Amino acid sequence: MAARYSIVSLVRNAFGYHEGWQRAWRSPDPKERYHVVVIGGGGHGLATAYYLAKEHGVTDIAVIERGWLGGGNTGRNTTIIRSNYLWDESAGIYEKALQLYEGLSQDLNFNIMLSQRGVLNLAHNLHDLREISRRVNAIRLNGIDSEVLSAEEIKAMVPILNISPGARYPVLGGSLQRRGGVARHDAVAWGLARAADARGVDIVQNCEVTDILREGGRVTGVETTRGTIMADKVGIVVAGHSSVLAAMAGFRMPVESHPLQALVSEPIKPILDTVVMSGTVHVYVSQSDRGELVMGAGIDGHNGYTQRGSLPVIEHMVAAAMELFPIFSRLRMMRQWGGIVDVCPDASPIIGKTPVENLFINCGWGTGGFKATPGSGWVFAHTIARGEPHPLNAPFSLDRFAAGKLIDEHGAAGVAH
Ligand code: FAD
Ligand code: PYC
């Protein structure tokens, strides 16, 4: 034992010689047939497979991912988790997700590094203040923690925030969800993948779905770059590519794909121990465990499938951050990137059946689906296993756009649409 864990062994392991390390999940070739095929190996697809196996005893499942696991928005988001949404329907599903997050490290036996450090939303004018009070009341009526703070209470929590009345957009107050916070995004994907794999789920990476096979109005399988895979049921969970996959199955989605950008600074010592969001100045900031300041913008105005950044958006983000935190002015930016978000007209997701029998879709989480990952997978697994939505996702059906039962959450989205 002593020899195995010697300093030499530690150094060798640190530099990539992974002595005795086990694979976290297998890398199987796809079989010719599965009971369920889940398209998309992001957090939502992996959570769907995990809860199908865990809650419904369905284990004959393949998760088909065209790139690498978690390489889409799951690995590109800024990791903010909260459940402070306005409408009852949203409160139900986002709070379910937050509660699952609160037990997820134990459930998966994998540390997802959940840090409930609080999420603050700043008010910069009287309209913001009134809107925040209305939201806090609605959220509390749903039994979810939320409170209004004065500018001085915010300053006490975040001493580096500029609350001077002379600021261009002075901070007048804000709202706080103390149970909100951040989690390590990659760890969420890895933990779910490992746990799904342990229950027999095949996770197939580098395998792109190129067509959805149908017969008599019912799904029969998928065509992929690694051959045909037949399936009794198929779930589409591909975020920014939802319309592309829907088109393969012959129907249209009320979803637009937009780039969404973020950046990190060079790492510094701990200076910010909560998440600060401002929809008016428009930036949000948190500090990662590595010390980087993580910042993000609103969506790029144009539609697109690019996953990269652009100078005007970076400039806008940084200018807004300077406004709130002048102390950041000499920091250097280290990295920036973009993801492709799938935005619905009411800024709420679509989770349910499609016009094709046994083909289900989960999308439209837009700029805010990381916080929903376990809840989304939990209700989508129920929907696929039972062929009917769970009461928590029934209001988020595709036909709400025909019925006019929209759930407008633009104001809760956290970033501008
Ligand atoms: P993804 O992780 O994108 O997974 C979909 C997968 O489908 C991808 O891996 C893709 O490769 C795969 N795929 C696509 N087409 C095919 C095909 N034909 N065949 C096979 N596979 C395919 N949300 C929050 O709650 N909090 C935040 O702080 C936050 N910040 C964000 C910041 C940025 C910059 C971005 C871009 C997003 C942010 N989000 C945030 C949103 C969040 O990231 C997404 O809503 C969420 O990650 C979506 O997860 P997913 O599993 O549905 O999608
Ligand atoms: O939904 O909380 C959110 C969010 C923050 C940044 C991007 N999305």
Structure token pair of residue 109: 């036996």
Of the residues 370, 373, 378, 380, which should be mutated to test ligand 1's pocket, given the most ligand atoms within 8 Å of the CB?
Answer: 370
Instruction: Determine the pLDDT at residue 4.
Output: 56
Share of the chain above pLDDT 70, in %: 99
pLDDT in tens, 217-269: 999 999 999 999 999 999 999 999 999 999 999 999 999 999 999 999 999 99
Whole-number Å distance between alpha carbons of 90 and 135: 13
Ligand 1: centre distance to CA 180 (Å): 20
- Does the structure show a pLDDT above 90 at 13? no
Neighbours of 18 (CB within 10 A): 11
Place of tokens 């973009």: 338
Sort 126 into a burial class: Cβ within 10 Å, 0-12 / 13-18 / 19+.
Answer: exposed
Residues with CB under 6 A from ligand 1: 39-45, 64-67, 71-74, 76-80, 208-209, 237-239, 241, 245, 260-262, 296, 339, 341, 365, 367-371
Collapse the DSSP code of 104 into the 3-class scheme (helix H, G, I; strand E, B; otherwise coil) and give the result: helix
Confidence of residue 9 (pLDDT cuts 50, 70, 90): confident
Over residues 169-203, the pLDDT tens digits come to 999 999 999 999 999 999 999 999 999 999 999 99
Q: Which residue in the block uniquely carries the two structure tokens 């780039």?
A: 259
Q: Say whether pLDDT at 3 is over 60.
A: no
Model confidence band, residue 14 (pLDDT cutoffs 50, 70, 90): confident
Query: Looking at 1-10, 346-355, 368-377, which range is the least confident one?
Result: 1-10
**pLDDT score for 1:** 44
Q: How far apart are CA 263 and CA 39, in angstroms?
A: 28
Q: Which residues contact 280 (CB under 8 A, 6 or more apart)?
A: 122, 123, 124, 125, 128, 169
Cβ neighbours of residue 369 under 8 Å, at least 6 residues apart? Answer: 43, 44, 73, 77, 239, 349, 376
Query: How many angstroms does the Cα of residue 403 sit away from the middle of ligand 1?
Result: 28
Does pLDDT of 2 surpass 70?
Answer: no
Q: Which of 8-12, 94-98, 336-340 has the lowest mean pLDDT?
A: 8-12
Question: What is the reported pLDDT for 10?
Answer: 80
* Cα gap 414→330, rounded to integer Å: 26
Structure tokens at 185: 């995004």
Query: Using one digit for the tens of pLDDT, what is the confidence trace for 95-116?
Result: 999 999 999 999 999 999 999 9
Q: Are 385 and 52 in contact (CB under 8 A)?
A: yes
User: Over 90: is that where the pLDDT of 408 sits?
Assistant: yes
Task: Collect all residues with Cβ–Cβ distance below 8 Å to 142 and sequence separation of at least 6.
Answer: 88, 91, 92, 95
How many angstroms is it from 250 CA to the middle of ligand 2? 32
Nearest atom (ligand 2) to Cα of 277: 5
Confidence at residue 306, expressed as pLDDT on a 0 to 100 scale: 87
Name the CA radius of gyration of the chain, rounded. 22
Calculate the average pLDDT of the chain. Answer: 95
Among candidate residues 367, 406, 377, 375, the one with its CA nearest the CA of residue 256: 367
What residues does ligand 2 touch, defined as CB less than 6 Å away? 78, 80, 82, 284, 296, 367-368, 371, 414-415
**pLDDT (average), residues 331-349:** 96
Reported confidence tier of residue 414, pLDDT bands at 50, 70, 90: confident
At residue 308, the pLDDT reads: 84
Q: What is the pLDDT of residues 256-290, one digit of tens each?
A: 999 999 999 999 999 999 999 999 999 999 999 99
Strands of 89-243 (E only): list them.
Answer: 119-123, 147-150, 173-177, 181-182, 202-204, 209-215, 218-224, 227-236
Backbone angles phi, psi at 101, to 5 degrees: -60, -40
Structural domains of the chain, with CATH: 27-80+86-96+102-107+185-255+346-413 (3.50.50.60), 116-180+257-343 (3.30.9.10)
pLDDT at 416: 79
Q: Which residues contact 296 (CB under 8 A, 6 or more apart)?
A: 78, 260, 261, 262, 263, 283, 284, 317, 415
Tens digits of per-residue pLDDT, 18-27?
Answer: 777 888 999 9
* Closest C-alpha among 302, 326, 374 to residue 45: 374
Position 413 confidence tier, pLDDT thresholds 50, 70, 90: confident
Average the pLDDT over 38-51 and give the result. Answer: 98
> What is the rounded CA–CA span in Å between residue 20 and residue 83?
41
